[in-house]
Structures are given as structure tokens and as C-alpha cells.
Amino acid sequence: MSMGRFISLEGGEGVGKSTQAQMLAETLRGRGLDVLLTREPGGTPGAEAIRALLLDTQFDWDASAEALLFAAARSDHVANTIAPALDRGEWVVCDRFIDSSRAYQAGGDDLSDDAILSLHTIGSMALMPDVTFLLHADGDDIAARLAQRDSDGSDRIGGKPADYHARVAQRFRDLAGSDPERFVLIDANGPPDAVHERIVRALASMLGEGG
């Protein structure tokens, strides 16, 4: 019987997380694995409803309210989607997870990492991914990708100022540096196929070829 694994993809806006999550899920399915592809905030009807609140530009959530909403959405997502899938032995590929809260609400804003992790303990039994791919790409490339994807305007968080996103990016790098057992830095420049190839290669070496 194969054991499920929990894989998250992290990084800033437009770096290619959703594209790569989809490609990774397809590749794993092609190997005969049962794969759940999911995303945050979201992944359950309740958490998707919270996502809409979080991203809506008509609201002006402060960092604490934002952190609580993310934690509530994640709690529902873990309890009703992720944990049951892992219990069934499935592989879970998640587009953003706890590290986004740590990078955005603690790194971009100024909550403490401990506070975010406490909410994660209360909400989600402190569940951590087995492997986290942190995607990073050059700023110019990303600006072009986002202009194409978000031609009708960015969401409430994506639309925050450049210095906020710079702090988020720095915190992601710091988190990866502090936990090299779990994080793999992925060069997300170049075409989607090339990035996918890097992720598949890194996954094989993280989990062992048979894994």
C-alpha cells in the first residue's frame, strides 16, 4: 500500500504556482498515484467562501483579521479535504499553504511567526507539508505574466504595494533557508515545461526515486 504525501507550492504572485501544481498533479496521476489537487485559500465550499471575502477589494482587513480568516479557511480545508485524503493514502498537491500565511501576514505585515504558527496549531493540528517547493523568478518576467493574467485588475492582496511584496519574497527565502529539509527552491524562470521538469527532478531526490 502506498503512503500519501503532502506537497505544497509557494511563492509570490504570478510565479507559476497554479500552473505547476496542475502539471505536477497530472504527472503524479500518470504514475498511477491517487492525487488530490487543491488550493488555498479555498479547497472546501466554506474555505472558498472565506477566500472571496479575503480577496474582495471592498474590504480592508487588517493583518490580524486577515490571519484569522486564513487560519479559519485552512482549518476547514485541512479537516474536510486534506487530512481525509492523506488518511486514504492519496498524494495532496496544494497551491499555497501555511508558509503563505507566514510570509504574507508575518513577513509582509508585522505579526510574529509564532502567532501564525499558534493559529495553525489551533486550527489545523499544526499539519506541515512533507515537501514545499518555493518558486522564484525574475521580477520582469513576473510583471509580464501578471499583466496577462490579471488584465481586469489584481485582487486585494495581489494589489498591495511593491515594498509589501518584497518583504513577502524575503520572508519566503528566509523560511526556506531555515528549513532545508522541507523546502526546495525552484527556479521558475523559463517555459512551464522546463520548470515542471525541475520540480519533478527535485521531488525524486527529496523522496527517493521509488517514492
Ligand X SMILES: Nc1ncnc2c1ncn2[C@@H]1O[C@H](COP(=O)(O)OP(=O)(O)O)[C@@H](O)[C@H]1O
Does the annotation place 46 within a ligand binding site? Answer: no
Rounded to whole angstroms, how far apart are CA atoms 179 and 130? 12
User: Residue 58 binds which one of ligand X, Mg ion, none, with CB within 5 to 8 A depending on kind?
Assistant: none
Least distance (Å) between residue 41 CB and ligand X: 13
Compute CA distances 94 → 31, 115, 123, 189, whole Å.
Answer: 18, 22, 17, 21
Instruction: Find out whether 18 is annotated in a ligand binding site.
Output: yes
- In the chain, the DSSP E strands lie at 6-10, 35-39, 91-95, 131-136, 183-187
Q: Is the CB of 114 or the CB of 147 nearer to Mg ion?
A: 147
Taking CB under 6 A as the criterion, the residue among 4, 6, 7, 17 binding ligand X is 17
Binding positions for ligand X, 27-86, rule CB under 6 A: none
Q: How many CB atoms lie within 10 A of CB 190?
A: 13
Instruction: Write down the residue that cell numbers 511567526 correspond to.
Output: 113
Burial category of 98 from C-beta neighbours within 10 Å (exposed 0-12, middle 13-18, buried 19 and up): buried
18 binds ligand X (CB under 6 A): yes
CA distances from 15 to 80, 110, 130, 138, 149 (A): 28, 23, 21, 9, 11
The reply to whether 17 sits in an annotated binding site is yes
Binding track over 14-43 against Mg ion, x by CB under 5 A: ---xx-------------------------
**Does residue 13 have a known ligand-binding role?**
yes
Residue 52 beta carbon to ligand X: minimum distance, rounded to whole angstroms: 17
| Known binding-site positions for ATP | 11-18
Residues near Mg ion (CB under 5 A) are: 17-18
Residues near ligand X (CB under 6 A) are: 11, 13-19, 145, 148-149, 191-192, 195
